[in-house]
Structure formats: C-alpha cells, structure tokens
C-alpha cells in the first residue's frame, strides 16, 4: 500500500531521480526499502520527508544544511517561513499526507481553515487544483488507492456544492442558458462542478447534467431546453476514447448551440477545429468566456 518508486518521488517533489540518488549516497538522507525481489521502493514516511526537503530546497536551503537538521528542527524552520507560495505548497503537502493516512478529519480541518480565510474560489483555484494535480500523478501510476481518492474527492465535491447552495438564490435570469456535462465514461466532475458554480455566479442559467452523460441524453436535453451554449470538460476519459470522433458526433447531434470544451486532456491531443466549437485551455479562459456570454 502506497509504495513509491524513485520516479514517483521525482514526479511528486520535482527532485530529479539522479539528484535523489546523489543525496542518498552523500548525505544518507533517504533509505529506500526493498521488496523480497530486491526492488527499491519508498513508503509514505519517505514521501513525507522528501516533500518537506524539496520544499525547503526550492526556497533556497541547501541540502548540505537540511540533512543536518532533526525532524523537529526542520518542522520549526518550516513554521517560521511566511512566504505565501511556500505556505500554499506546504498545505498541499499536508493534504497529501492526510490523504495517504485516510485522516479525513485532518483533511477537512485544513480545508475549512483555508476556505474561512480565503473563500471558496481561491480554495478551488489555488489549493484544490494544485492538490488534485499531485493526486492525478499518483492515480495514473497506481500509487494511491481508489478509496483514498474517493474520500478526498467527496470532501472537495461537497465544499463546492455547499458554495453553490450558498449563492444568492436567483430566479431565471435574462442571461443565456448553458448546459454542462461530461461525456459517457468520464466521471471526474469536480472541474465541471466548479464551472457550474462560476456560471451561476455570473448570472447564467446553468443546467448541470453532470458526469457520464450519453450523447443521446445530451441531445435530448438540448432539444428540450434549447441552451445557447454547451460546456463539456475532459480530464480522464478511458484510453479508448477518441476525442475528435466524439466532438464530431457532438457537433453533428447539437447544431444550434455554441460548444465550449475545456480540461487537461486538451494539452496532449491534436484536436480538429469545428465551426461551432471553441477550446478553452485555461481557467482564465473559462472564466472570461463565462463572464462574456450573452
């Protein structure tokens, strides 16, 4: 459970694998374990230490100094650093540690404190998205249990849902209607739920169809509700999913709506262009687009 290779440590900390090996040899700063078949691995405690060392190292502390510190000295130094970016990354690391330990009480306490201080939008855009990026790395390499991922995702989902409920209740506005959904097979809807929150905040009539939506259902809802816009978010559809083929079918099925597509999948695909479709490559583009819709 939660065994990490040296490549995992590199991906999660930003420390190159060859640097980690040098630190092990020169400073004895990590001591990897070995499986019965002599394969090296690191455990959750090793990852915790690596994250803290990487954080200090990135902020100018030399490894030759860090390795002489006790864990208490290191923690004391960390608490004295008030740089905002440093504190944010430290909190992301703390959330990751709570996730691996399945300590949902600690996870929610950390999240609630951040929301109280900075509000839901900074929490989602700065904290959650940063944290979920690391969780995504672990998920893709099978270094996190489904139960761990589900536990924290449910907390994050609930916080955004509460923020939606806390928006000032509005009657149907004069703004346009936006239909939000994920394609069939896509179940990770935290990003889409946040777009739903933003759309409502900016006075749009947002219809949240949600995850795992078959194309025929999207077409049916579009025919009945006649939204001016469709919004689809792509993050981790199955490897067999053909994005260009899906978008071809979508633009053919729904011809009277402008379609927006966002999500991390856009970064790694060669995408076709369609007359009624626009790709949004960043959260800023998503926000600016929602504000401008009329």
Contact call for residues 193 and 157 (beta carbons, < 8 A): yes
Residues 142, 248: Cα–Cα separation, whole Å: 32
pTM of the model: 0.88
Q: Give 40-66 pLDDT, tens digit per residue.
A: 999 988 998 999 999 999 999 999 999
Mean pLDDT across the stretch 111-137?
Answer: 95
Q: What residue ranges define each of the domains in the chain, with the CATH number in brackets?
A: 6-160 (1.10.1240.10), 169-292 (3.40.50.280)
pLDDT value, residue 91: 96
| pLDDT single digits (tens) 262-287 | 988 888 778 999 999 999 999 999 99
Question: What is the rounded CA–CA span in Å between residue 236 and residue 54?
Answer: 28
How far apart, in whole angstroms, are the C-alpha atoms of residue 263 and residue 132? 13
What's the mean pLDDT in 209-238? Answer: 93
The predicted-structure confidence for 70-89, as pLDDT tens digits, reads as follows: 889 998 999 999 999 999 99
């Amino acid at each position: 459970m939660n065994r990490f290779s040296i490549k995992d440590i590199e991906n999660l900390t930003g420390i190159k694998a060859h640097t980690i090996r040098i630190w092990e040899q020169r400073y004895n700063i990590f001591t990897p374990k070995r499986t019965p078949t002599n394969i090296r691995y690191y455990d959750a405690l090793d990852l915790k230490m690596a994250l803290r060392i990487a954080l200090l190292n990135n902020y100018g502390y030399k490894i030759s100094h860090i390795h002489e510190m006790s864990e208490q000295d290191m923690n004391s130094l960390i608490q004295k650093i008030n740089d905002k970016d440093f504190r944010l990354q430290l909190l992301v690391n703390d959330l990751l540690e709570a996730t691996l330990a399945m300590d949902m009480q600690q996870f929610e306490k950390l999240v609630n404190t951040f929301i109280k201080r900075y509000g839901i939008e900074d929490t989602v855009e700065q904290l959650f998205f940063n944290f979920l990026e690391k969780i995504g790395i672990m998920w893709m390499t099978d270094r996190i249990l489904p139960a761990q991922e589900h536990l924290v995702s449910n907390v994050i989902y609930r916080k955004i849902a509460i923020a939606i409920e806390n928006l000032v209740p509005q009657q149907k506005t004069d703004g346009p209607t936006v239909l939000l959904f994920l394609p069939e097979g896509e179940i990770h809807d935290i990003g889409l739920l946040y777009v739903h929150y933003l759309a409502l905040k900016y006075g749009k009539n947002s219809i949240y169809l949600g995850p795992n939506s078959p194309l025929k259902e999207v077409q049916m809802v579009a025919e009945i509700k006649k939204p001016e816009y469709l919004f689809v978010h792509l993050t981790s559809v199955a490897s067999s999913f053909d994005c260009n083929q899906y978008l071809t079918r979508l633009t053919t099925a729904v011809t009277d709506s402008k379609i927006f597509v966002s999500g991390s999948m856009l970064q790694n695909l060669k995408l076709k262009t369609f007359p009624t479709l626009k790709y949004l490559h960043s959260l800023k583009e998503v926000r600016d687009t929602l504000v401008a819709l009329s």
